[in-house]
Amino acid sequence: MRKVVLLGCCLAAFSAAQHKKFALTIDNIMRGPGLFGYEPRAVRWPGSNDRIYFQWKQPGDPTLKEFDTYVVSRDDAGLRKLT
């Protein structure tokens, strides 16, 4: 449960940082994952408990694009995409 809460906070902070003015139109409302991003998957919390790894697609990523792997510190700092 702690993992889900931390991951949710991380993604909310990341989304807020990229927040742009949003026009409330039918096209925007119907974008689904293109609006808010895709649900994180393959969440991993290694034994050291200092970082969380997960796979995620950002809002606007093409549907057929592969998920990218991200890492974030346990304290919600330093969200970054791994290469």
| % pLDDT > 90, the chain | 13
CA distances from 18 to 3, 22, 36, 43, 47 (A): 23, 12, 11, 22, 31
Is the pLDDT at 17 greater than 50? The verdict is: no
When pLDDT is averaged across residues 8-36 and rounded to a whole number, the result is 63
Q: What is the mean pLDDT of the chain?
A: 74
The neighbour count for residue 56, using CB atoms within 10 Å, is 22
Per-residue pLDDT tens over the stretch 26-62: 776 766 666 667 888 899 888 777 889 999 888 778 8
